[in-house]
Chain A
Amino acid sequence: MNALTPFTPAASDSPEPGRMSPSERFLSIEGIARRYPAPGGKATTVFENLWLPMRRGEFVCMIGHSGCGKTTVLNILAGLEAPSEGVVIADGKAIEGPSLDRAVIFQGHALLPWRSVLGNVAYAVSSRWPKAGRAEVEARAAEAIATVGLAGSEHKRPAELSGGMKQRVGIARALSIAPKMLLMDEPFSALDALTRGTLQDEVRRICLETGQTVFMITHDVDESIYLADRIVLMTNGPQAKVAEIVENPLPKVRSRTGLHRQPGYYALRNHLIDFLVSRSKTLRDESPPGYDQRHPPVVRLTLTEADEAAAALG
């Protein structure tokens, strides 16, 4: 396909645009809701009737303003919270609680400060393989630590590490248990821009190498463009819903530094920013005609003039 050819609005080989066949679904969020009791005997609905399928090996980012229930969705996927309604099916089984198959990378790294780097990762490894000997556990832990580029810091305490290194340990801990899926809750939001960039590179490299299925929450539009295959847009809460699912038109092999020269980048970025600035509110208050919560619209973007200019330069 010529880089300058506008993307078609929908794929032609499927009767309904972008819809995923049941056999494709590795994870399926099916009509979940989360309600909290509110004063006066009523309930506040953060979101309801939320549907979202995910493929194996897919990197999905969820974007939305604070209060739309992103973290709640992630906690439900992790099994840390139960939905008020609905069910999530992971790999053919309903999620009923936390599982070693779904590793969580927490926003605040959540390392155990009394354990060394190796101790933190080894704790996860020994939870995954309780019968493994100490040497085997430490070997696996050391391997995961080396994967995130922290070899040599095994015996440091978390307090001796920088924020970026702590988050690397968090990633190593998640990877060390060989999960079927990674769940990340704004993992880089507390880091400075430079560290965030290198860690995004690491995560992208590791996920491509291992073919991980990833669900990640972020506030950062550029982060989602760089990392995600599909970007889920949540409207504002309460009563948030999935407004649309944007397919990332950028090629699977991408570099962070050359991102803005890729055709489709500006169209995607403008679309996401427009959504966060205005449409996240208007779409909650008024659904577009034909909107079906069970099958949120899948969006593929056409090139903009800025993309064409950038591509011509590149």
Chain B
Amino acid sequence: MPSPSLNLRAAIVSLGLLALFLLAWHIAVSGLTKTEAMDPEYAALMGASATTGKSAMPGPLDVAATIWGHLKDPFYDRGPNDKGLGIQIAYSIGRVALGYGLAVLVAIPIGFVIGMSPLMSKALDPYIQLLKPVSPLAWMPLALFTIKDSGLSAIFVIFICSLWPMLINTAFGVSGTRKEWLNVARTLEVGPLRRAFTVILPAAAPTILTGMRISIGIAWLVIVAAEMLVGGTGIGYFVWNEWNNLSITNVITSILLIGVVGMVLDQLLARAQRLVTFPE
């Protein structure tokens, strides 16, 4: 009998590990600890974890029930402190899209200039080196002070954190365009603008897309933290709000959702990257 394909075997192992983890989780949080007999009034004060032996940590079944509840009604809106998970995540995706989109518009042209001009490359290098390692959240107070709008400040933070990988990769890809391809364009008397779009851009596109993929990953990491700070809406705010509500099931649900959305964003850019990659 031929052994099943590697993919199938990997899937079986994955599911096995998941089952194992869920089972361990379930056992760990179900009430196995002994409860002490105590004064009923004191027991009322202590809550379920002390009186019934039930753990304060929710089990997988509780989380599943919460996820199901969110899936049934993702877009409800009952005031500023109670919106559906779908609405929250849509706010986060919207902020990332805006900040990231702005960063694309800024980083790629500037990256082109840096990649094509050794002068600009050397002139701008100290600024890039200085600003690149700054945590994007460090910009938040300055953004709040100057923009005076928390939503826009979050978008600005996404913009600033998406900027650097795209800028550096674009410059790297553009400056790495093969000399022979540029010589082809020169011998064909191709003008600078046409050369930029027909030779340099396609040649640098795989590297640029790599930068864009790194950036979207960072942007998605940062949006959660930024929304925890600015509050109001968004998945980051939701996580913090549910922590304040001590709703651990909602926190776990959010973690899963953040992971899924981040994975989808990454896969979208990976697909775009495959489209522009050329075999040599």
Contact = CB atoms under 8 A, between A and B. Distances in A.
A111 to B, nearest CB: 8
A159 B190 contact: no
A261 B188 CA distance: 41
Contacts of B189: 98-100, 127
Given A113-B278, A113-B279, A157-B279, A98 B198 contact: no
A36 interface: no
Nearest to B277: A114
A114 B278 contact: yes
B198 A104 contact: no
A46 interface: no
B149 to A, nearest CB: 43
B188 A177 contact: yes
Interface stretch (B44-52, B60-68, B86-94, B179-187): B179-187
Interface in A146-178: 157-159, 177
Contacts of A157: 278-279
A78 B278 contact: no
For the complex, would chain B's binding face be called helix, strand, loop or mixed by DSSP majority? helix
B202 interface: yes
B181 A100 contact: no
Contacts of B180: 106, 108, 110
Contact of B188 (A97, A100, A106): A100
Contacts of B186: 79-80, 97-98
Nearest to B186: A98
B41 interface: no
A124 B185 CA distance: 9
A216 B198 CA distance: 28
Nearest to A157: B279
Nearest to A120: B184
A110 B279 CA distance: 14
Given A106-B180, A123-B198, A113 B187 contact: no
Interface in B165-204: 178, 180-181, 183-184, 186-190, 198-199, 202-203
B36 interface: no
Contact of A159 (B188, B202, B280): B280
Contacts of A78: 187
Contacts of B276: 114
B278 A102 contact: no
Given A106-B184, A112-B202, A127 B278 contact: no
B188 A128 contact: yes
A158 B186 CA distance: 20
Contacts of B280: 113, 158-159
Interface in A77-134: 78-80, 97-100, 102-104, 106, 108, 110, 112-114, 123-124, 127-128
A103 B199 contact: no
B278 A159 contact: yes
B181 A123 contact: no
A27 B267 CA distance: 56
Most buried by B among A97, A112, A157: A112
A113 B186 CA distance: 17
Interface in B257-278: 276, 278
Nearest to A102: B187
A159 B187 contact: no
B183 A112 contact: no
Nearest to B202: A114
Given A106-B183, A110-B178, A112-B184, 6 more contacts: A108-B180, A112-B181, A113-B278, A113-B279, A114-B202, A159-B279
